[in-house]
Amino acid sequence: MLLIADIATALVALIHAGILVLEMFLWTRPAGRRAFGLSREFAEQTRVLAANQGLYNGFLAAGLVYALALGAAGYGVRTFFLACVLVAGLYGAATASRAILFVQALPAAVALALVMAAR
């Protein structure tokens, strides 16, 4: 069960590393605009905000990788960062796009449940 929890946590970290790339480096490029459904003009106007948001997603990914590196001692760190991802996903789904519920909140909730069950 612990291996499955580790894989789920790593998947959430990878999702957030991918979001970092999209928001920080690809926001104004066709791939980034397509991923978020943005016009060229809107992407240019919001690129600094998106980069800031991407940095926060990177910190979430880094926290989860750090928790994984700590092994069993990282249980508290892991639950904290997964809970942060879950709350951010719920807030994003309620305020920005329902898709965030499935891309961010659901994977975090599943990983968090697996981590808690593996303990």
Confidence of residue 52 (pLDDT cuts 50, 70, 90): very high
Side chain identity at residue 72, one-letter code? A
Q: Check pLDDT > 90 for residue 1.
A: no
Query: pLDDT band at residue 119, thresholds of 50, 70 and 90?
Result: confident
Rounded Cα–Cα distance for residues 18 and 15 (Å): 5
- pLDDT exceeds 90 at position 106: yes
Contacts of 67 (CB under 8 A, 6+ apart): 9, 74, 75, 77, 78, 81
> With 90 as the cut, is the pLDDT of residue 51 above it?
yes
pLDDT of residue 27: 97
Cβ atoms within 10 A of the Cβ of 95, count?
8
DSSP letters of 62-99? HHHHHHHHHGGGGHHHHHHHHHHHHHHHHHHHHHT-TH
- Give the pLDDT score at 8: 98
